[in-house]
Structure 1
């Protein structure tokens, strides 16, 4: 049990700093955005499980030789069995820290979900006042604005895509198709769930490099995923012209930093701040996707990051079986 807690603590440290730092600088992620998103999720989940698990296992060490027997002994202790000795103050502190940390993560996710739901509801109310339904496209609202703007507002009761009058007049029909396909992919693939999860992770642990780097990386990767879907209906030059045309209309002078943070959780696919150099370079100079073996290696690492903390928690019990 004690050795298991040390292994989990070491894994948590590795997943908290060097791993996300290296992955954020890796160039292969643009070649396989799906695999990269899965790997970022595994790093976040594996890191959180390792942090909680190391404190939990260390706190339960006096109660048993493995997690399952220690939990059983802990239940007997809570129910008043006199044959079970109580852990010391330090072990109780570790257990309390593990439970409080897990509660903090869950509470932050619930709070972020509630805040995002309210922000989206307010945004929909504003859209009902400032926009009109599109006559040609379902679930699409047209905003009476001269600047070319396109984004989507996800929702459980029906998602909508918002296009401005400026976009419909300044972009060609092909460019409009590319923009709409890009925004539709955000809704179809529910990228808002990914952003919500990593936003909550960042809010819960703002001091952790994993939370900041993963949020930035996932935001960039989902834009690449949406670009790939748009390239199925339009050519690369058309999509580039559409993206640059929309992004150039939104400048820091028009959108304050506070407004951008407030909108980040309620809408997906706003061009401002998302047209990074890596994304443009990927469209300008396309690279070959990862080979089957390379994808297998990445996916294997993803699975191992999720399985290893679990095995480290229950491995002594499995060996006894």
Structure 2
């Protein structure tokens, strides 16, 4: 029980503080994301083990006070589980509502649709602000704005679409939703905020790598620089520099994705 409690404290406060500034994460984003989520899962498992051990020790005490203590411990665990379940459901509901509001705002603007493949649609929004995003679902959707189309070349646009498709094919929304839920349920815990920030950055780097291999790193890097200049987001220039300094295997032109807008 003590060991489980100590491990929970370590993965909640100590390890995330040491892991957050690690530079190797930018080079190996997939491994880094796995480490973050293994720590999160092991912390939950250690906490559950500590509660279970407490209950078993209380039940094992056969004295009169032991039975009373066991009843109190079980009641406390049931109450704690109920409270935790309520917090998790409330956090999940808020996250789902935010996603639905974002999707609804985009769908309410004038747009055109076309099919990218058997499971993915491309939505071209008339919004002038340059942006791109993706929505999972039974029919996955990649969204690009008219402002983005006007800002990029065809090759750069194809690289951005490849980036968004990587989010969908690699199921990044699962890791992001888990990190969002963790942060929503534990808003005062620094590790939850660090995990959310790290997850958001790492999935972008993973999608960058996938798009660079599919469409060419120079096209994606140039697209990030242009979008960063238009949106005044300096982080995009940093991601572009990361793509520029890495060594990439040459991508044959025949294998690069081409996006033809309706």
Q: Is 1:124 the counterpart of 2:103 in the alignment?
A: yes
TM-score, structure 2 length as denominator?
0.80
Contact 2:58 2:73 in 1 (8 A): no
- What is the CA–CA distance in structure 2 between the aligned matches of 1:62 and 1:109, rounded to whole Å? 28
- What is the CA–CA distance in structure 2 between the aligned matches of 1:23 and 1:110, rounded to whole Å? 29
Contact 2:225 2:240 in 1 (8 A): no
User: Counterpart of 1:224?
Assistant: 205
Q: 1:105 to 1:224 in 2, by over 3 A?
A: farther
TM-score, structure 1 length as denominator?
0.67
Q: Is 1:149 the counterpart of 2:131 in the alignment?
A: yes
Residues 179-204 of structure 1, C-alpha deviations (whole Å, 9 max, x = no match): 00001111122211211111111121
Q: Is 1:207 the counterpart of 2:177 in the alignment?
A: no
- What is the CA–CA distance in structure 1 between the aligned matches of 2:37 and 2:185, rounded to whole Å? 16
User: Counterpart of 1:166?
Assistant: 147
User: Counterpart of 2:52?
Assistant: 56
Q: Is 1:286 the counterpart of 2:246 in the alignment?
A: yes
Q: 1:185 to 1:39 in 2, by over 3 A?
A: same
- What is the CA–CA distance in structure 2 between the aligned matches of 1:55 and 1:136, rounded to whole Å? 50
Residues 148-202 of structure 1, C-alpha deviations (whole Å, 9 max, x = no match): 21111223x3221111112112200110011000011111222112111111111
Instruction: Name whichever of 146-155 and 101-110 sits farther off.
Output: 101-110
Which protein, 1 or 2, shows the higher relative CO under an 8 Å CA cutoff with sep ≥ 6? 1
Q: Is 1:196 the counterpart of 2:177 in the alignment?
A: yes
- SS state at 2:236 partner: coil
Contact 1:178 1:234 in 2 (8 A): yes
Q: 1:143 to 1:35 in 2, by over 3 A?
A: same
Mind listing any 5+ residue stretches in structure 1 that lack a counterpart?
Answer: 65-69, 71-82, 252-271, 289-321
- What is the CA–CA distance in structure 1 between the aligned matches of 2:69 and 2:204, rounded to whole Å? 46
Q: 1:227 to 1:104 in 2, by over 3 A?
A: farther
Aligned residue-pair number = 245
